[in-house]
Structure 1
Amino acid sequence: MSLRALVLVALAVAIAVPAGAASAAPSASELTKKINKSSAELEKVVEAYNKLNEQTKATKKEAGSVAFRLAPLEKKLDDAQADVGDIAVAAYTSGRLSTATALLGDSDTLLSRMSALDSLARERQTTIDTFRSTRDQLSADQERLATVRAQQDAQAKELNARKKKIEADLDKLYDLRKQAYGSSTSSGSSYSGKIPSVSGKAGVAVTFAYNAIGTPYVWAADGPDGYDCSGLTLAAWRAAGKSLPHNAAMQWDTVAHISRSELKAGDLVFYEDLGHVALYVGGGQVIHAPTFGESVKLSSVDMMSPYGYGRVR
């Protein structure tokens, strides 16, 4: 084939194959897989953030308790030190002014007074020593708590940086999903069916969860306008008067562990190596806040392989 013929063939191929065809846009199913993967990774970061937030709140509460006890203790210490100063002055003055009395007679009375003052001073000093020891311990606690808070602040910055990166990745994927489906999120609707009747506090939690169906997933939120997975179970049981931490793994550490056969409405079902949690509502179903772009919904208890089951104490 001549050179001219080869050129004509190459031009024909170039015209027939559009530019960029080698890197065709991903299909809708491929986009969904990427979004689900990124969402799962981000949810782990969110749960780690929630755990850190719970630990930080506990540390701040402890620090506040230390500060509350430290302030009145320091005042008592100052008062005790002033008392000992007065005692010392009184003992010194009594000793000097009573010299003549001691020489002229009744030395037993003077010695008795001095002994009593000395005993009182020692007693006061013992009190001061006790106060000082306690104050030193509380000061040491404050330093320790300050160190812990500094560590947690550093961890929070790291988690925030990771969250921003994954959210940036999700934004790109959502743009592609919008191109494929016309919307980057799935709209949710409230539950209109009959809510099963469950007795006791578990019933309150189950009813709350049903009424939350259709509420959007919002990271690190515990309602009322949005929930993440542990935020939803927290809010449901908070309505029933029970307190749960805002973290799936910490909730696992709080509940009583039960078997699948013992599962009842109101119990918690854990997934993804404690990265996700849902509320069991009976009939083989759970209500949960799935992930970014979705809303609280009713799903099969086997939507994923369960990690374990727990009952709120």
Structure 2
Amino acid sequence: MAAHRRSRKRSAGGHTARTAAAIALAGAATATGFDGPALAEPQATPERIRADVAELYREAEAATEKYNGAKEKAESAQRRLHDLHDETARRRGRLDEARDALGSVAAAQYRGGGLDPALRLLLSENPDGYLDGTALAERVGSRQKAEVGRVRGQLREIEQLRGAARVEVEALTSRRAEMKRHKRTITGKLTAARRLLSRLPPEQRDAGADHASRSPAGPRDGVTASPAPGPRAAEAVAYAYEKIGSPYVWGATGPDAFDCSGLVQAAYRSAGVSLPRTTYAQINAGRRVPRSALLPGDLVFFYSGISHVGIYIGDGRMIHAPNPSAPVRVAPLDEMPFAGAARVS
């Protein structure tokens, strides 16, 4: 049996070719540095390259939505922290007023022949520890008790505000770190996509060119045949039409560049409707509607992770911001796996 196995010799040329191919594929996969489709082998067809690019764009867009969500939460944490600092400053002003009132009492006692030791401690630079003693209230008069109680309460409130501020600082730091992680993923995916696209002539570099070429549309096409459910939806559709041709830029919300959820948010903002920033939040911002009941202005979502969104315009088409290789444009719903739809009231 051993002799039989040895008799099945492999040609040196075949082994070398397979090894070279394996090394090339391994090098291509390593070059991306991310989970996802490896760089296509040098002899891949334009269709295969565009498919790999489309997958990289999809993964980059999923990371973009996570980045947008982390950014939105970071901005909220920053606003809350700012408000806490403002409130703390106001409370410290009230504390100073209360301490001034205690100072008036102390001054009267001093003129009357002596300063109560409890007030001397209370008016020191660090009165917190003295205010916690139960003996203090027993050593001062009723007016002093009221002032001491006011100062104690205000100090407690300030400390609570400081604690809340520390929580917000931690949240802000965490969200910023999360944003950096998602940004690294996005830039890595987009770099890998650009490397792939560089293998194709410029006219073949749009991963969705075949779909787009079969779905021409002029201004307002489809809207009159199937009217929007209300003036706000109609206004959002009108805004989207005006932005056709605008570039895709990840994280952008207009007015001159957009990512997919940024375009939807900007369109409805123009109509006076505030939508969340991310696709996975936008799908819950309105009433869910089946695909068979879509009307212009409805939000249409794609992929199982709800990582892409467009604005329905009628006749089975939408306006969306596809990816960095394609500007805002009209496209058929069938261009991507449909995941659901929502109607914003």
Gaps of 5+ in 1: 1-12, 14-19, 97-116
Structure 1 residue 263 corresponds to structure 2 residue 281: no
Question: For the Cα contact (< 8 Å) 1:191–1:210, is it kept in 2?
Answer: no
| Matches of 2:254 and 2:113, distance apart in 1 | 73
Identify which of 327, 330, 333 aligns with 1:301.
333
Tell me which residue corresponds to 1:286. 318
Listed as ranges, the matches of 1:43-82 within 5 Å are 43-82=61-100
Shift in alpha-carbon separation, 1:305–1:166, aligned structure 2, 3 A:
closer
Amino acid at match of 1:133: R
Tell me which residue corresponds to 2:174. 151
Amino acid at match of 2:259: D
Tell me which residue corresponds to 2:342. 310
Tell me which residue corresponds to 1:10. none
Tell me which residue corresponds to 1:193. 219
1:118 deviates by 2.3
| Matches of 2:194 and 2:205, distance apart in 1 | 12
Shift in alpha-carbon separation, 1:191–1:68, aligned structure 2, 3 A:
farther
1:58 deviates by 0.8
| Matches of 1:71 and 1:24, distance apart in 2 | 64
Structure 1 residue 89 corresponds to structure 2 residue 121: no
| Matches of 2:317 and 2:266, distance apart in 1 | 19
Question: For the Cα contact (< 8 Å) 1:191–1:213, is it kept in 2?
Answer: no
Tell me which residue corresponds to 1:40. 58
Tell me which residue corresponds to 1:228. 259
Shift in alpha-carbon separation, 1:173–1:218, aligned structure 2, 3 A:
same
1:92 deviates by 5.3
Gaps of 5+ in 2: 1-12, 14-19, 25-40, 115-139
Give the structure-2-normalised TM-score: 0.72
Higher Rg of the two aligned structures: 1
| Matches of 1:24 and 1:62, distance apart in 2 | 52
Question: For the Cα contact (< 8 Å) 2:51–2:207, is it kept in 1?
Answer: no
- Identical aligned pairs, as a percentage? 28
Shift in alpha-carbon separation, 1:24–1:146, aligned structure 2, 3 A:
closer
Local SS of the residue matching 1:290 = coil
Give the structure-1-normalised TM-score: 0.78
Question: For the Cα contact (< 8 Å) 2:81–2:165, is it kept in 1?
Answer: yes
Question: For the Cα contact (< 8 Å) 2:322–2:328, is it kept in 1?
Answer: yes
| Matches of 1:265 and 1:95, distance apart in 2 | 84
- Provide, for residues 127-176 of structure 1, a one-character-per-residue CA deviation record: whole Å limited to 9, x for no partner: 21221121111101111111111111221221222222212211211201
Local SS of the residue matching 1:223 = coil
Q: Alpha carbon RMSD of aligned pairs, Å?
A: 3.0
Tell me which residue corresponds to 1:120. 143
Question: For the Cα contact (< 8 Å) 2:260–2:321, is it kept in 1?
Answer: yes
Amino acid at match of 1:85: G
Amino acid at match of 1:193: P
Amino acid at match of 2:317: Q
Listed as ranges, the matches of 1:142-181 within 5 Å are 142-178=165-201, 181=203
| Matches of 1:256 and 1:203, distance apart in 2 | 17
Tell me which residue corresponds to 1:16. none
Shift in alpha-carbon separation, 1:253–1:91, aligned structure 2, 3 A:
farther
Shift in alpha-carbon separation, 1:194–1:162, aligned structure 2, 3 A:
closer
- Provide, for residues 255-297 of structure 1, a one-character-per-residue CA deviation record: whole Å limited to 9, x for no partner: 3333445533212111112101111223332211112201212
Tell me which residue corresponds to 1:104. none
Shift in alpha-carbon separation, 1:299–1:171, aligned structure 2, 3 A:
closer
1:183 deviates by 5.2
Count of residues in correspondence between the two structures: 276
